[in-house]
Chains A and B, each alone.
Chain A
Amino acid sequence: MMSISKKIFSRSLFLFHLGGSACNNCDIEILDALTPKYDLERFGIIAVGSIRHADVILLSGIFNKKSAIRVRRMYEQAPKPVIVLAIGGCACSGLIFQDSYNWDVPVGDYIPIDAYVAGCPPKPEAIIAAITQVVDKLRNPAAAGAD
């Protein structure tokens, strides 16, 4: 991507929430981040209902052997460039489900992930901080640290 298109891209992000059998806590925190109190539309961030409109995919919950097929398919359906955020401990590492019979590897091994937001569940502030960090990295890749 050219730098100018990266700048435009960082000013308008459409969120798509992809829940992978989460316990609903992360889902609620994601919804909280979109409420009037935080008002993400100030930064051009809005939620959309179709993966074809998505610029940012928020993953929550564990992606087991079966839902891994679906998450890969959803990722392929998203128009590129697309940013993927793993929200919550389950999406980051699998947490207590690591020893389950249907769990294989963390979702980051199925599709590329740009940022991990740890927490069980993470606060809306943490989700917003992750999004702004990714936006900063898009705007000037040199200034943002090597994370």
Chain B
Amino acid sequence: MGKGEGVIAIAQFLFFPGLVFTAAAGLLTSWFDRKLTARVQMRKGPPLLQPFYDVAKLFVKETCVPEGTLSWFFLSAPLIGVAGVTLASTILCQAMWAPQDIFAGDLIVVMYLLALPSLSMILGAFASQNPLASLGGSREMKLIMAYELPFILVACVPIIAARSIQLADILAAPPVAHQFSGLLALLVALIAMQARLTRVPFDIPEAECELGSGVLIEYSGPPLAMYKLTQAMMLFTGPVFLLVLYAGGIPFSEGWLAAGLGLLKFLSIVTLVVLIRNTAPRLRIDQAMRLLWGPVTLAAIMSLVLVYWGL
């Protein structure tokens, strides 16, 4: 890699389609989430820029570090999540909009990177030494184990269908959601994504009224803003990842009609996530594990077998 390429790569990571773009897209998506929730509850809902105000406000607040914690660890844990989701989003958007720049095995890298936000939550929760936070952290850990298994299984469905492990090839192949196995895989991936985003019914680690925001309980000011930003960015990156795997992504290079259709698909996935959040009660951690390792994993295996048969 030459010097100029390095500068371009850093610019891509920091601005487009990296940090700045993903943060803006994520905060807008989280506004969509809050507005839709408000409409479901027959409210008017927050203004368009509310998520931006929330994050900006947290940056002017004081940072409290609990007594007896490793302060550098407590303060750097949120950065891991932001870095992970930014990198994942950069790779995904590059695969959609500039497929010539992509490298082999990027799908596997994205899968690893998308685990980083949850990991940074766990690290932060245990670093804060709050009993409620560590309870949330241990629940998050169990939840990761629960949703990663079915998710990895159904991520193999587009790989088998496209006979390639590269995102660009999966995008170039016909969308796997057009066949039955792909549809089943998308359903499983949606449930796993709901758990990855820790949305109701899988908001077990945060459990607002039970653990008092659980993993985030001791965080305040800019570090809390980092976590809020990570969650918002995940709300953008997660559905985009599903689109790339199963439905052909959001293709901006193939004309406005295809791009608009891609955006519509993205919004409908987010709408589904939000509607599930607003209509389901929270599961207990044992129920969530039983659900994700039981029927959901079975469905994942079934979709794998079906795609192998070419259905």
Instruction: Show the binding face of A for B, using Cβ within 8 Å.
Output: 1, 5, 8-9, 11-12, 36, 39, 41-42, 44, 48-50, 52-53, 55, 77, 79-81
Contact = CB atoms under 8 A, between A and B. Distances in A.
Interface in B36-58: 38, 41-47, 50, 53-54, 56-57
Interface stretch (B15-23, B219-227, B271-279): B219-227
Contacts of B221: 79
B57 A50 contact: no
B213 A44 contact: no
A41 B44 CA distance: 8
Given A49-B213, A52-B220, A8 B43 contact: no
B61 interface: yes
B265 interface: no
B298 interface: no
A76 B264 CA distance: 47
Contacts of A55: 57, 61
A53 B224 contact: yes
B219 A52 contact: yes
Contact of A8 (B56, B64, B208, B218): B56
A8 B224 contact: no
Given A41-B46, A52-B217, 20 more contacts: A1-B60, A5-B60, A8-B53, A8-B60, A11-B57, A36-B38, A36-B43, A41-B34, A41-B38, A41-B50, A44-B54, A48-B213, A49-B217, A50-B212, A52-B64, A53-B213, A53-B224, A55-B61, A79-B62, A81-B62
Given A52-B220, A80-B62, A9 B57 contact: yes
Contacts of B8: none
Interface in B183-218: 208-209, 211-213, 216-218
Nearest to B64: A79
Nearest to B42: A36
B236 to A, nearest CB: 20
Contacts of B64: 52, 77, 79
A140 B206 CA distance: 37
B274 to A, nearest CB: 15
B71 interface: no
* Main secondary structure on A side of the interface with B: loop
Which of B46, B208, B218: most chain A Cβ within 10 A? B46
Which of B45, B212, B221: most chain A Cβ within 10 A? B212
Interface residues of B, number: 31
Contacts of A36: 38, 41-43
A22 B180 CA distance: 58
B43 A11 contact: no
Contact of B47 (A9, A42, A53, A77): A42
A39 B220 contact: no
Nearest to A2: B60
Contacts of B47: 42, 44
Given A52-B218, A52-B220, A79-B220, A41 B60 contact: no
B63 interface: yes
Given A50-B216, A52-B219, A52-B220, A81 B61 contact: yes
Contacts of A9: 57, 60
Contact of A50 (B34, B42, B53, B213): B213
Nearest to B228: A53
Contacts of B219: 52-53
Given A5-B60, A55-B57, A39 B212 contact: no
Contacts of A53: 213, 216, 219-220, 224
